[in-house]
Structure 1
Amino acid sequence: MSESVDGYDIAAPDPAGMVASLSSLGYSLEAAIADLVDNSVSAKARNIDVEFTWAGRDSWIAVVDDGEGMTEAELVTAMTVAARGPATPRTSADLGRFGVGLKSASFSQARQLTVATASASGWHTRTWDLDVVEKFGEWRLMHGADDETISLLDQLRSKADRGTIVLWRRLNGYHAANVTDDDTPTQKQFYDEATRTESHLGMVFARFLSGARRRRLRVSGTAVQPWDPFLTNHPSVQRLPVEELPLGTSSVRVEAFVLPSVHRLGQGEYDDAAGPRGWLDQQGFYVYRRDRLILAGDWLGQRGMRREEKYNLARIAVDIPADADVEWGVDVRKSSVVPPVGLRQHLNRIARQARTRAAEVLRHRGQVAARTHGDPLLYAWNVRRVDGHVTCRINRSHPLIQAALRSGGTSTDDIRAVIRLLEETVPVTALRVMHETDTSDDPEPFGGAGQADSDATEVAERIYGALVSDGRSPAAARARLRTMPPFDQLQGFWSG
């Protein structure tokens, strides 16, 4: 739709196309709900309830708070797409920026968005029905709502005289004609999403769920528990020095943490510390804006830094000022950031320090687990790094191994015990933390490709003898050896 004016055209976006664009921003359900909770926090709500109600294709989700509410004019502004630009002055409690969060988050999840709100002037209700917008090609913000929606709003607000209710109906993925009330698999999926939402909100709003400013946040009646990615109260956490990095007229606060290894955590602590996405995906930077988590577990595109298990214990808190959104490239969904060029070198340095410390903690734990030193009677494997190469050897001082090597014969039970011991104690942890992914340090059997040394030849002769004893001809035994690792990469009597 366009209008010609002297010297230029008014090229207003088509409402249906705009709705499609806002609906396709890539929100997950939990991220979309977090955007609604942002508004409740900004409205100084003390109690926030997220309700998931299964009713087949009529299932619905609502966010209900006891915040300051809005006047009718404020409600219309809040329901208008991009009514406030990113440069609009906001209060220190406002977690928004673009003025599209409520709408884009809601349109990504539902075809009908209804908001009912009350301040001192009583309750007011407005509804976006995307079918209506697309049918008429106009931004028709409906007064009130249909009877069924009004009935739900009455239930949700109960006797409250202020606050805000955001109600999603005709949910994407659930409003299909083939979804029925007794569709058990779809119902399970619906409530699984509620569980994921609970975990996500506990991570994103952890700082609001504890301390003096504590809010009560519930999902379907269950209190959301704050998740602390840094285990700040654990005595074994290593805290690197806090740095205040200058950015314009303000500064960015950065604090790196190295979490304790698993042997210093109880099983429950370890499972909880893994976070909603698991250890590997939770390592890295955690970027906060006004105490709201924007990005969780990411290396921010730092050169040469990727997720690796040996860095699982490294987590870094970054607090950015609210007026630095532009410099940090905070997106509409509040789910990604791009660090300012001037800070990248400092962030890289801090990240490398944290990663090095984290790898050292795991390496030490791996060495203890594999016992590269210490009592030789306890561990079946020795793992070492020698001349830049990782070596893995069976501990010949172990009593069970010595019994198997003792002259005069060994019982079959002893051999079985040795094999079982080796199977159950493969030093995976030590190998993982000692292996440097950017170097060629993989163990090379018998020194690598080339002429077999005496040790390799002795082992090959034993295997050759066993094959012949088992009925193979000498030629067939040598042919079989030539296909066996590592002899397929070595030259010896079997090669001809």
Structure 2
Amino acid sequence: MKYKSLPPFAPVLLESMRAIGYDAAAAVADLIDNSITAKATRVRIRFDPGLPRAMALLDDGHGMDEEELARAMRHGSRNPNDVRPEDDLGRFGLGLKTASMSQCRRLTVVTRKDGRTHGMMWDLDLVEREGDWVAGVLDPGDIELVPFVSYLLEQAHGTLVVWEKLDRLAAGDAGDGSILSERIRRVEEHLALVFHRHLTGRPPRLVIELNDYPVEPLDPFLEDEGAMAGPKERILVEGQRVFLRAFTLPHISRLTRAQIEKAGGEAGLRRQQGFYVYRNQRLIVWGTWFRLFRQEELTKLTRVRVDVPNALDHLWSLDIKKSAAFPPAVIRDRLRSLVPTMVRPSRTIHEYRGRVTGTGRVQPVWTRIEDRDGVRYEVDLNHPVVATLRLSAEDGHLSEIDNVLRAISASLPVEAIYNDRANDRVGLRKEADDGEAVAAHLEELARQMLSAFADRPAERERLLAGLGNFEPFALYPSLVEQIQKRLS
């Protein structure tokens, strides 16, 4: 058998690689992966909104020498099967080039290390003219002309990545930078989510800035805002540990508008349930049950954090963009057995509206009645609020009150509530619903209830102590203690 070398034709292959599937957000995230691997603590993204000619990413990592830069600019510079440090976010040795060229036609990298500065450039137009894998090596005069290079030269070490000829990133821009600015806004949202664990902490391990404005972390689990965290689970695969932890978001009635947006928006609450897979604390894929479980209304508050080491990349089918992964069979089997337990708290929150006080469940104003004709809801005449109203009724008025309550029960708009509930439009908490008006209303309602037991102090104290177990007080736990103190 004869063998013949068939090297790819550079212009055609490089143009084809631009269609791998990067969007602007994924491309920028891929560059930041390199910065994190280089031990950077600060990443600055610079662009001129009114002049969409170039965009730059500058980090304060350890930088590269001449040989390291040449290796970084070579396509396929690393074997994906090589063993890498635990904090290394790369894999294929293609990310810098493919991510950049998906958005621009000229990529320039300038780097500083040990007091020396080096630069190289890929220009697709140059490659097309030469018909070969020709990269430019910058001399000092060339380096001075690189956009935004002055920021790098102020640092002792670091790397500057510059995109020019923004034929994809600024496609359709009329020259005023409006389209570029909109795409950068989506990039910011993506970075806030994908790197939220790197951006969190005091001080954070990483700071990302967009034209001097810091990117704020976007925690999909709302850990500091009332989410319930389940126990940590561990799966051992090929001597490596995969860690899982389920989080149950607060019921939507307990969330402010800002918190709902952070959790994915009203529509996103259901779509974003499922597994959130992290590779070295960098979010890879999210909002999926990997076909192990259906997305359901009652489970939409469940989000499961999965931490995977880079040593298992080959099992998770990680793609070049690091935006897709699929668990191997050994992990899928374990996940399948854990999912029912993980989603149970979300089901409970929806069934009981998430309000549990002490050892007893919240007593709702409405009671559910199931008979041969199906299910109906009626006002609970034994609920303390309703019972107080009936006890205080003057002679002859009790039947009138009961008639009104029956009319309310009979006219409950069940179908409208169901439709609104399915679209997450019911129970949205106002930004300031714990204000003075709500507090005054609840306190007056509590006084009315307690006044009915003025001659029975023991029952009065029991009712006051258990105030948080009854609707509507259970909706406002932060106010219940204040009311109890004032009325005790």
What TM-score range do you get, normalising by the shorter chain? 0.7 to 0.9
| Change over 3 Å in CA distance of 1:78–1:363 after alignment to 2 | same
Deviation at 1:24, TM superposition (A): 1.0
Q: Could you say which residue in structure 2 is the equivalent of 1:426?
A: 417
Whether contact under 8 Å (2:59, 2:160) holds in the other structure is yes
2:327 aligned counterpart, secondary structure: coil
Partner of 1:221: 212
Contact 2:348-2:354 within 8 A present in 1 as well: no
Matched, 1:99 2:93: yes
* Structure-2 separation of matches of 1:150 and 1:405: 80
Higher-Rg structure is 1
Partners of 2:75 and 2:94 within 8 A in 1 = yes
Kindly indicate whether the alpha-carbon contact (under 8 Å) linking 2:170 and 2:179 is maintained by their aligned counterparts in 1. Answer: no
Contact 2:50 2:178 in 1 (8 A): no
CA contact (8 A) 2:219 2:262 kept: no
1:136 equivalent in alignment to 2:126: no
Pick aligned residue for 1:80 from 74, 93, 96: 74
Contact 1:383 1:431 in 2 (8 A): no
Q: 2:112 aligns with which of 113, 118, 129?
A: 118
Question: What are the superposed Cα offsets for residues 12-61 of structure 1, whole Å, 9 maximum, x if unpaired?
Answer: 222123213321111121111000001111111111111232345x4322
Match of 1:166, SS state, is strand
What is the distance in 2 between the residues matched to 1:396 and 1:323? Answer: 58
| Contact map agreement 1:239 1:256 (CA 8 A) in 2 | yes
The yes-or-no answer on 1:230 pairing with 2:224 is no
Superposed, 1:64-463 pairs within 5 Å as 64-144=58-138, 150-173=145-168, 179-182=173-176, 187-211=177-201, 214-234=205-225, 236-274=226-264, 278-302=268-292, 305-365=293-353, 391=375, 402-403=403-404, 422=413, 426-428=417-419
Structure 2 length as normaliser, TM-score? 0.72
Identify the structure with bigger relative contact order (alpha carbons < 8 Å, sequence gap 6+): 2
Aligned equivalents of 1:432 and 1:174: distance in 2? 34
Which consecutive residues of structure 1, in runs of 5 or more, have no partner in the other structure?
A: 1-5, 407-414, 434-496
CA distance in 1, matches of 2:169, 2:423: 44
State the distance in 1 between where 2:208 and 2:62 align: 16
Give the drift of 1:293.
Answer: 1.3
Per-residue deviation at 1:249? 1.3
The C-alpha deviation readout for 1:442-477, integer Å capped at 9, x for no partner, is: xxxxxxxxxxxxxxxxxxxxxxxxxxxxxxxxxxxx
Distance in 2, matches of 1:204 and 1:339, equals 19
Distance 1:394 1:432 in 2: 24
Give the RMSD, CA atoms, in angstroms: 3.5
SS state at 2:314 partner? helix
**1:107 partner letter:** M
Residues 189-222 of structure 1: CA deviation (Å, up to 9, x unaligned): 3222222212211211122112366221112221
Aligned-partner Cα distance in 2 for 1:276–1:9 = 59
Q: Which position in structure 1 is the counterpart of 2:456?
A: none
- Residue 144 of structure 1 and its aligned partner are, at CA, apart by 2.0
* Residue 432 of structure 1: how far off its partner (Å): 8.0
Question: CA, structure 1 residues 158+276, in 2 after alignment: closer, same or farther (shift >3 Å)?
Answer: farther
C-alpha distance in structure 2 between counterparts of 1:348 and 1:385, whole Å: 33
Contact 1:300–1:337 under 8 Å retained in 2: no
User: TM-score normalized by structure 1?
Assistant: 0.71
Secondary structure of the structure 2 residue equivalent to 1:106? helix
Counterpart selection for 2:31 from 36, 50, 61 = 36
Partner of 1:484: none
Identity of aligned residues (%): 33
1:199–1:276 contact (8 Å) kept in structure 2: no
* Residue equivalent to 1:494: none
